Amino acid sequence: MSWPSVVILAPVAQRPSLETRVRSFGLVPDPVTGDERMHWQGYSYSFDLSGGILPDFEPEELDQVTARIGEPYGAYVSCQSMDAARTFLRQVLPGFDGLVDTNHHEILPAGEFLALLTRYPRWDWRRTPSTGVTGGQ
């Protein structure tokens, strides 16, 4: 099974602050893939901070993101496990004013995503959409 992943979306003007926030965890270049890797708190992660993930979005998705935050920048984060994903996102998202694409048909405001992680600590967004966790509230 592939590693869980998300795309953290920020207005392009906030790219430097998002990159700084993510890099502060100690990323190292991966000479094979060109991405960056990190080993942190016993977990492994892979990052693509190039912004090159945006062409993978459907045009309608990109239009929705642009309508919400303006011209977007996307940082792709792949995590060894759901525990790794939850651990990292709980650390990097506080105070971040952007969006999180779950890569499972949902793009949520970062604050809402973080609130769901806090309220439902075992939430697996790959299997259950946010409305499935909250009962559609």
pLDDT in tens, 81-107: 999 999 999 999 999 999 999 999 899
Residue 77: which pLDDT band, with cuts at 50, 70 and 90?
A: very high
* Average pLDDT, rounded, for the chain: 93
Query: Nearest Cα to 47, choosing from 83, 1, 89, 13?
Result: 89
Question: Mean pLDDT across the stretch 63-80?
Answer: 97
pTM assigned to the model: 0.93
Residue 137: which pLDDT band, with cuts at 50, 70 and 90?
A: low
